[in-house]
Amino acid sequence: MRLIIAEKPSLARAIADALPGGTKREDGALRGHDTVVTWCLGHLLEQAPPDAYDSAYKQWRLDHLPILPTRWQLAPRAKARSQLAVIRKLLKQAREVVHAGDPDREGQLLVQEVIEYLGWKGPVARLLINDLNRPAVQRALSRMEDNARYQPLYRAAESRSRADWLYGINLTRAWTLTGRQAGHDGVLSVGRVQTPVLGLVVRRDAEIRDFKPYPFYVLWADLAVANGSLRAWWQPGEQQRLDEQGRLLERAPAEALAARLPGAEGRLTSLESRQKRQAAPLPYSLSALQVDAARRFGLSAQAVLDICQRLYERHKLITYPRSDCRYLPEEHLAQARATLTGACAQDETLRGWLAGADFTLRSKAWDDRKVGAHHALAPTGKPAELARLERAEADVFRLIARNVLAQFYPPLIAREVKAEFTILGERFRASGQELLQPGWKPLFTTRDEAPPLPPLSEGEGCRVTASAVEDRETRPPEPFTDASLIKAMMNIARYVDDPEVKRTLREHDGLGTEATRAGIIETLIERGYLVRQNKALRATRLGSGLIASLPETATRPERTALWEQRLTAIAERDDDPAPFLSALVDDLRGLLSKADTQRLRQAMAAAQGEAAAASPRTARRKSPGKRRRSRSEPGRSRSKPRRNA
C-alpha cells in the first residue's frame, strides 16, 4: 500500500479526487485501490517544553537560564494525538510513503518530522502541489521526486524551529521574571520576529510623538506661454534660509518677489523631455497582494491571507497563495489564454479586461530562473462565479486575475517634461507628463492623470498672469498601517543603518515570511502590544515599555533578517546548521546578561508618562484635509523624506 501524507485535509481531498478509481472515507484517511491518503492538521508536533528536559524547569527561575537542550525532543500537540495515531497505524501497513506537505520550508518540516517521529525507515517520495485542481494534481502525481532532495530544506526548517525555541523561551522567561521584580504582573513575550516588528512601530510612534512642526513657504506663478498656460514653482537660491530639503523658511523673500511678479516677462531657459516606458506590475506574491488589498479595500493582512486560503482550498480558484515569488513558470504561458478565459468568463469586469488582452505578448513575468518552490499567485482556470463569493473574496480574486491579465497588455508609454523658466533673474520650475499609450494602466486605475504641460520650445517667452505665496507646515511621518507594515517587513533593509548589513540584506530582504507576516501583526495585537486605531497600528504602553527595556539589538531587524539569510544558506547550499545554532547560543548569553529590573521599571514608567502626555495632543490634533496637488508642486510637507514603507 502506498501512503500519501498531506499537510492538511483539503490537500488530501484534492489528491484523493485525482486518483484513478476513487476513494472511500475511513477514520482519518481516504482509501483507494492501492493508495491511502491521510493528513496532518498543520503541525501535529511541536518542540517539547522545557520541563520535558528537566522537571525543575516547570518553575520559572532566572538561575535556570539559558535553557539549552542537548538532545532535542518533539511532543504531540494536544489536539493532534488521534490523527497521529491514525498515521502511526497506516505507516505500519505501508510499503512506500509520499510526503505531500506544502511546497515550502514549513510544509517540508511538518510532514517530515511526523514521518521521522513515528520511526519510518523506508524511502520517501516528495509530491509538490501548487494548484488543487484535478488536472494539476494529476500532473504533480506523475512527477514525484525523491524526498532526499529536500533534506536541506528540512534542516533549515528544523534549525528555525529550534532557534525560535531557544530565543523565545529564554528571553521571554528572563523578561517576564524581571518584569515581576519590577512590578509587572504578566508574561512579557519576546520573539525573534515579533519583537523587531514591534520595534518598528514603537520607533515610528516615537517619531510622530516627538515631531516638532515648523512653517515653510512656497511661491507659485501662473505663466502664459505661446501654446497655453502652466503653473511653475520658485526655486529659492542658497542665499535664502532653507532646510535640508531646500524649502524656504522665511516668508519675506517670497513676499518681496511675489510683489514684483505680476505682468513680469521671462524666458524658458531649460527644457528636458524624455519618453518613459513602463511594464505592467508583476503578478502577486502574498505580501504584495496584502499591501494592495489593504490600500484598496481596507483589509487586514490576516484577512487577505484567510481569503486567499479559501480561494485556494475551498473554491480552487487560485494557485498556492503563501508564495514569496512574483514570477510564473514558462510552461504556464502556453495555457494562459485558456486559463484566463475560464477564470474570467463569468464576471463582467474580468471579461472586459480579458477582451483587451493580447496573448501574443510575453512579459518578463514568465521566467523559470526566478521560480523556486512556489510561483506567483494566479487563477487556476476554474470558472469564477464571483457573485457567489463573499465581496472581499471577489475583490481579492479580481486583483490576482488582473495582475496576470496585465502581462498581456502593452507597456505604458508616457512623455515626461521638465521646464525651467528665468523670471526677474529667479528660477521657476514646472513638470508634467503626457500619456502616449495607456497600455495596462486602465486595469489599475480610472483616475484622470494631471494635465500635461502645453507644447514648449526652449527659449520661448512667458508672462506671469498670477502668483501667490502659500504657508505650509512640515508634517510627521504617517503611523504604520497593515499595508505599510507588511511592506516594511518585506523591505527591511531600508530600516537598517549599518551600510555593510544593509548591502548584505538587499539580496536576502525580509522580516518574517509570506506565511507568517499577517499572523505576527495579529499576535502583537492579541498580546496587547499593538492596537488598531481605524487603519493605523499603534504601540500600547506595554509594547513601548517592553521595547525600551530590551537591548536595542533585540528590537531591531538586523539579527532576524540575518537569521533568515543563514537559514536560506542551509536550505539552498546545504550548509551545516551547527555553527548557526552555536552562534545563537553565544548571542543569547549576551542578551540575557542585560535583563535588568531597574531598567524595565523605568521603561514602563516612561512609557506610561509618554502615553499620558501624548493623549491630549492627539485629541487636539486635527487631520488636515486633503488638497489636490499639481504634478509640478514641490514634495510633501515633511521634515525628513518619508521612508518607502
Q: Residue 174's domain is classified under what CATH number?
A: 1.10.460.10
Does residue 615 surpass a pLDDT of 70?
A: no
> Phi and psi for 111 in degrees, rounded to 5?
-85, -45
- Residue that terminates a domain, selected from 436, 454, 473: 473
Q: Are residues 272 and 355 in the same domain?
A: no
CB burial of residue 495 (10 Å; 0-12, 13-18, 19+): buried
| Amino acid present at 31 | R
For residue 152, tell me if it sits in a domain: no
Q: Are residues 304 and 172 in the same domain?
A: no
Residue 150 annotated in active site: no
For residue 151, tell me if it sits in a domain: no
Query: Sorting pLDDT into bands at 50, 70 and 90, what band is 383?
Result: very high
Quickly list DSSP for 340-394. HHHHHTT-HHHHHHHHT--TT---TTB-GGG--S-----B-SS---GGGS-HHHH
Q: Are residues 545 and 616 in the same domain?
A: yes
Task: Exactly one of 320, 327, 409, 495 is catalytic; name it.
Answer: 320
| Closest residue by Cα to residue 385 from 349, 344, 443, 354 | 344
Cα 369 from chain centroid? 22
| Cβ atoms 72, 53 nearer than 8 A | no
Task: Give the per-residue pLDDT at 604.
Answer: 87
Hey, what's the cell of 277? 516606458
Q: Are residues 296 and 402 in the same domain?
A: yes
Task: Give the per-residue pLDDT at 10.
Answer: 86
Q: Are residues 540 and 603 in the same domain?
A: yes
Q: Give the contacts of 452 (CB within 8 A, at least 6 positions apart).
A: 415, 417, 432, 433, 434, 435
| Amino acid present at 61 | R
- Residue that terminates a domain, selected from 116, 143, 170: 143
Which of helix, strand or coil describes residue 338? helix
Does residue 252 surpass a pLDDT of 80?
A: yes
| H helix or E strand, kind and range, residue 6 | strand 2-6
Does residue 475 surpass a pLDDT of 90?
A: yes
The Cα–Cα gap between 27 and 38 comes to 9
Does residue 628 surpass a pLDDT of 80?
A: no
Least confident segment among 146-155, 435-444, 557-566: 557-566
For residue 643, tell me if it sits in a domain: no
* 273-325 pLDDT, tens digit each: 999 999 999 999 999 999 999 999 999 999 999 999 999 989 999 998 988 89
Task: Give the per-residue pLDDT at 40.
Answer: 95
For residue 340, tell me if it sits in a domain: yes
* 107-140 pLDDT, tens digit each: 899 999 999 999 999 999 999 988 888 888 999 9
- In this prediction, what percent of the chain has a pLDDT beyond 70? 92
Q: Are residues 449 and 463 in the same domain?
A: yes
Query: Sorting pLDDT into bands at 50, 70 and 90, what band is 511?
Result: confident
Q: Are residues 438 and 335 in the same domain?
A: no
For residue 630, tell me if it sits in a domain: no
- Residue that terminates a domain, selected from 456, 473, 490: 473
| Closest residue by Cα to residue 401 from 420, 418, 414, 382 | 382
Structural domains counted in the chain: 4
Task: Give the per-residue pLDDT at 504.
Answer: 66
The Cα–Cα gap between 331 and 148 comes to 26
The Cα–Cα gap between 115 and 92 comes to 11
Q: Are residues 62 and 38 in the same domain?
A: yes
Q: Are residues 468 and 484 in the same domain?
A: no
For position 51, which CATH number holds?
Answer: 3.40.50.140
* Whether the bond into 66 is cis, omega within 30 of 0: yes
Q: How many CB atoms lie within 10 A of CB 349?
A: 14
Q: Are residues 178 and 268 in the same domain?
A: no
Task: Give the per-residue pLDDT at 566.
Answer: 87
Residue in the structure block whose three cell numbers are 537559514: 567
Residue in the structure block whose three cell numbers are 469564477: 384
Q: How many CB atoms lie within 10 A of CB 101?
A: 30
For position 302, which CATH number holds?
Answer: 1.10.290.10
Query: Sorting pLDDT into bands at 50, 70 and 90, what band is 630?
Result: very low
The Cα–Cα gap between 268 and 460 comes to 6
For residue 636, tell me if it sits in a domain: no
For residue 396, tell me if it sits in a domain: yes
Q: How many CB atoms lie within 10 A of CB 567?
A: 22
Q: Are residues 10 and 111 in the same domain?
A: yes
Q: Are residues 585 and 526 in the same domain?
A: yes
Q: How many CB atoms lie within 10 A of CB 527?
A: 19
Task: Give the per-residue pLDDT at 301.
Answer: 94
Residue 19 to residues 58, 74, 86, 139, 596, Cα–Cα distance (Å): 48, 33, 21, 11, 60
Average pLDDT of every residue of the chain: 90
| Closest residue by Cα to residue 180 from 62, 49, 58, 55 | 62
The Cα–Cα gap between 134 and 590 comes to 53
The Cα–Cα gap between 492 and 484 comes to 12
Task: Give the per-residue pLDDT at 584.
Answer: 94
| Closest residue by Cα to residue 355 from 341, 375, 334, 369 | 341
| Cβ atoms 302, 497 nearer than 8 A | no
For residue 453, tell me if it sits in a domain: yes
261 lies in which domain range?
A: 215-279+413-473
